[in-house]
Amino acid sequence: MFKNVISKRAVLYPLLMLSAMWFGYFLQMQGFFQSCFGAIIPLLPEGLLGIITSPFLHGNIDHIIGNSIPIAFLMFLLYQFYPQVANKVFITGWLATGLLVWLLPPIDILTGEYMYTCTIGASGVVYVLAFFLFFSGVFKWNMKLLTISMLVVLYYGSLVWGMFPEELFYNLQEPSRISWQAHLSGAVVGSIIAFAFKKVGEKKKKFIWEFPNYYNEKDDKLWQEYKENHPEDFMELPYKKRDDIWDHLDELRKK
């Protein structure tokens, strides 16, 4: 029964992604991927590789742990409840988000100065998944998928603040190391994909009793109970023969 409820892909694919992320972090600890190699470097050709590799790389142990938990949870929801489009959403969201981050000019939000930035981490993918799961349930207006949307909001509603530069909320001594560009890109891409796939996969089911003017006697429990408790009220009435004037001919003659 458990096997029929939980999809194998919903367990396997998050584990594969986590394994790749932690293997990439292990290679970083061994001295690989240094000097921004493998990161997204906006508007520079050498940064294009990061579109594919950056989600596997992280700055420190807190960074990778902070991304591993939502990646596992959100990927499980994606592959469990959107199996028909899960691969397309995940791969398209990954690449489109990375490309958008690469295209955005790395400008300091306060000074307007150009910055040489190296973006790594899977947070952009996290935002893709979170915003896709939320808006897909809203666009489809399916009660089960809306429940998933509310679950995402409950646990990750605060993600919305990550789409803005940290400098807007705090007085920092140095530029923030958090890439709001990656978060914003992931949110935009996830929302667009949710809209694009709103007619694909499970849709809102409309039951017959939801239609106007619907009434079925068998669905009326009170009426059914009354019929069972008072069968005498529903006995077939004796047939009354139609009156024929010729049957009353003798009576008419006497008048």
pLDDT, residue 2, reads 41
SS3 206: coil
- CB of 10 closer than 8 Å to CB of 72: no
Q: 237 CB contacts (<8 Å, ≥6 apart)?
A: none
Give the C-alpha separation, 64 to 53, whole Å.
Answer: 14
pLDDT surpasses 70 at 218: no
- CB of 175 closer than 8 Å to CB of 113: no
Q: Which of 93, 123, 76, 62 is nearest to 193 (CA)?
A: 93
Which comes out higher in pLDDT, residue 151 or 108? 151
Percentage of the residues of the chain whose pLDDT score is greater than 70? 77
Judged on CB neighbours under 10 Å (0-12, 13-18, 19+), 136 is buried
Which comes out higher in pLDDT, residue 53 or 110? 53
In what helix (H) or strand (E) does residue 94 lie, and over which residues does it extend?
helix 86-103
Which region among 129-133, 190-194, 229-233 has the lowest average model confidence (pLDDT)? 229-233
Q: What is the residue whose two structure tokens read 């709103």? A: 198
Amino acid (1-letter code) at residue 215: Y
Which comes out higher in pLDDT, residue 172 or 84? 84
pLDDT digits (tens, 9 = 90+) for 129-179: 999 999 998 888 887 888 888 888 888 878 888 888 777 777 766 666 788
pLDDT, residue 223, reads 67
Which comes out higher in pLDDT, residue 213 or 189? 189
pLDDT, residue 234, reads 66
As a whole number, mean pLDDT of residues 76-100 equals 95
As a whole number, mean pLDDT of residues 38-56 equals 94
pLDDT, residue 1, reads 38
Between the alpha carbon of residue 69 and those of residues 15, 63, 74, 113, 151, the distances in Å are 11, 11, 9, 35, 15
Give the C-alpha separation, 9 to 33, whole Å.
Answer: 30
SS3 81: helix
pLDDT surpasses 80 at 232: no
Q: What would the CATH number be for the domain defined by 8-197?
A: 1.20.1540.10
Rg of the chain (C-alpha set):
32
Q: Which of 251, 117, 134 is nearest to 179 (CA)?
A: 117
Q: What is the pTM of this model?
A: 0.75
pLDDT, residue 195, reads 93
pLDDT range class, residue 24, cuts 50, 70, 90: very high
Amino acid (1-letter code) at residue 96: A
pLDDT, averaged across the chain: 83
pLDDT, residue 249, reads 62
pLDDT, residue 168, reads 73
Q: Cite the residue boundaries of each domain of the chain with CATH code 1.20.1540.10.
A: 8-197
